[in-house]
Structures are given as C-alpha cells and as structure tokens.
Amino acid sequence: MFPITRLRRLRAHPRLRDLVRETVLRPDDLILPLFVRCGENQRVPIGSMPGHFQLSVDHLAEEVREIDSLGIPAIILFGIPEEKDAEGRIASSDDGIVQQAVRAIREAAPDLLVITDLCFCEFTDHGHCGVVNDRTGRTDVDNDATLENLVTQAVSHAQAGAQMIAPSGMMDGMIAALRHGLDAAGFSHLPLMSYAAKYSSAFYGPFREAAESAPRFGDRRTYQMDPANAREALREVALDVAEGADVLMVKPALSYLDVITRVKTAHPEIPLAAYNVSGEFAMVKAAAANGWIDEQRIALEILTSIRRAGADMILTYHAKDISRWLNE
C-alpha cells in the first residue's frame, strides 16, 4: 500500500471539528444597517430587501431594543430626508433625520453602538456623493468642496451623539479632513471607520432603492473604484491609514474577498470591516424564496467566508437572522 496522508482523521468527530475550526462567526462581529425616514408611524417595506424597512424615528426605539437584545453590538444609520437640494444641506442640520435618529437610539438602547454613514447621496437632489460642478471641465463631484461639507456633517453627527463615523463618499483626503475637523471641534475621541476601498458596484442596486440615493445622471465611477483593481485598493487603504483611519472597510464583500485578504495582510494591525452589501443579501433572499437554496446555511457560509478572508467585522443585513441562528 502506498502512504496516504490522512486529513480525514480530523474531520471524523464533531467535537474534533469544533476544536480545529479556524474561523468563528459571532454576533459580536456584526453591524446591522438601519434606514430611517421622515414622517410618523412609518414602517415602509423595502421590496428588494425582505425583512428590512424604512422606519420613522418613532419606530426606532422598539427596533433597536430588539437588536440590542440579540447581542448585536452596533448599527449603522442611513437617513432618507424629507427634502433634498444641490448640496444636501439638510444632512448637516441639527434636526436632520440622522441627527434625530441618533438621539432616539442612544436614549432607547444606551448600550448599542451608533455608527453613522457619512455621505451626501441621500441628501442631494442629483444623488451624487457631494457638490457637483464643472470646475474640472467635466460635470463631476468637486472633491475639496465636498470635504468641507463632510466635516460640517460629521460634526453635526458627533454633536447628536454618534459614536463612530463612517465616511463612504470616496473623496481624496476625506479621512485627514475629517480627523482634523473633528479634533478641532472637540471630538478627538470619536473613531473613524473609513469605507477605504469602495468599489463602483452593481451590488448596491437594492440599497439605492432603500435609501432613495441613485444618481439622477451619470454614475459614481469618477470617485468609487473600478472593480478590476486590487492593487489600487492598497493605495487607498495606505492613505487612509496614514490619515488616521481607526477602522478600514472593503465594500462590497463577496466579490472582493481577495481585496479583503490583501488589505488584512498589508495592515494586520488595523481592524478591518467588510460590507456584505444589499445586492449580496437580495440574491440570497430571492434564491431562498424560490426554494433553490437553504438561506441559513448559505448566509452562515457567506459570512464565515468573509471572516476567513480576513474581515474582523461585517456589516450585514443578515445580522438579526445570524444572531438568532448562532444563539439557537
């Protein structure tokens, strides 16, 4: 008989499989995105994201108490405002939708960590992530004008009680501008989670319905990354690390597991988040609704693979389900 290396020895007993498991997924690793809208007594279902709703502020208390009781440590907030303008000014108002929501959540669930997404696409009438003009000879988002507005919006989130701010607009110099602006306003203690490598992705489709944030013209390819590039992601994250990002993020997750691994390898000392985005969630839900896949096993496998690739934490619309399944 020729020699056989027997790896199956470690797979034979379930307890042994538990002992040699390399990657664990815990509710503690998860961040749940929440959509808050204006109005009263609103609980508007998001068609492409079953189980998710646009909630008005008065519905948040109940929702966040449930999230907290499931052992999910954090939520990330997205606001859908009543009115939009060219610069998204309402995003920086003290009684803006996100600011109201932050205060309501902090009061209802004081132990839950409140992260705010920082961007302008939900607040501008054109749906782009900042100030649009023709300064460069093309109609495009003006980087430096947008930085100033981002700082104003971030300070207003901080004043409302946000406990971490997650800028998602992919502007150059965004982390340096925000760190400087927050420090100057007395918020040097507030961490920044940078959407450092965010791709221009079709996987955001359902989110744009949920957040009413699709661009009215053009696309986001002049600021979000080309899905074909991974080395460039390393430049993006290196800059954000140098500028003072506390947590890095790769987004989307599933089609970018290689990017997650590369970023973790390049910066093992910096906590890394991955965003399991709306399109990834919708595909699982749609296939499960047809009876084509086992939702629970698929979702656990996807999230485990994102952790295995190198993500320390995952933003996911499956957070509540996962916590229930893991706690069973």
Question: Could you tell me the smallest distance in angstroms from the CB atom of residue 18 to ligand PBG?
Answer: 32
Taking the least distance from each CB to ligand PBG, the nearer of 187 and 207 is: 207
Annotated catalytic residue, options 198, 264, 285, 320? 198
* CA distance linking residue 179 with residue 190, whole number of Å: 9
Per-residue binder mask for ligand PBG (CB under 6 A), 62-81, x = binder: --------------------
CA distance 239 to 224: 15
In degrees, rounded to 5, the angle at the alpha carbon of residue 203 between the alpha carbons of residues 198 and 204 is 70
The nearest distance, CB 170 to ligand PBG, in angstroms, is: 8
Query: For residue 79, what are the β-bridge partners?
Result: 36
Q: Does 278 bind ligand PBG (CB under 6 A)?
A: yes
| DSSP SS3 for 273 | strand
**Where are any strands of DSSP class E within 244-306?**
247-251, 272-276
Q: What is the dihedral of CA 6, 11, 12, 13, to 10 degrees?
A: 140
Site for ligand PBG in 28-57 (CB under 6 A): none
Q: How far apart are CA 299 and CA 325, in angstroms?
A: 10
Number of residues that bind ligand PBG (CB under 6 A): 10
- Among 187, 204, 223, 256, which residue interacts with ligand PBG (rule: CB under 6 A)? 204
Shortest Å, Cβ 168 to ligand PBG: 4
Helix axes 257-266, 231-243, angle to 10 degrees: 50
- Choose the stretch contacting ligand PBG; rule: CB under 6 A; options: 37-45, 98-106, 117-125, 242-250: 117-125
Q: Does 116 bind ligand PBG (CB under 6 A)?
A: no
- Residue 250 CB, nearest approach to ligand PBG (Å): 13
Is position 119 an interface residue for ligand PBG (rule: CB under 6 A)?
yes
272-276/247-251 β-pairing? parallel
162 belongs to the binding site for ligand PBG (CB under 6 A): no
Name every residue whose Cβ is closer than 8 Å to that of residue 55 and which is 6 or more positions away in sequence. Answer: 34, 35, 36, 37, 42, 43, 63
Q: Which residues contact 322 (CB under 8 A, 6 or more apart)?
A: 25, 27, 30, 299, 300, 303, 316
Nearer to ligand PBG (CB atom), residue 100 or residue 278: 278
Position 277 contacts ligand PBG (CB under 6 A): yes
Q: Is 264 one of the annotated active-site residues of the chain?
A: no
Residue 45: CB atoms within 10 Å: 11
Single out the residue of 250, 241, 65, 88 nearest to residue 55, CA to CA.
65
240 binds ligand PBG (CB under 6 A): no
198 is catalytic: yes
The minimum distance between CB 15 and ligand PBG, in angstroms, equals 37
Please identify, among the stretches 54-62, 63-71, 116-124, 288-296, the one whose residues bind ligand PBG according to the rule CB under 6 A.
116-124
Tell me: does residue 207 bind ligand PBG (CB under 6 A): yes
Name the site residues for ligand PBG (rule: CB under 6 A): 117, 119, 121, 168, 204, 207-208, 220, 277-278
Q: Which residues are catalytic?
A: 198, 251
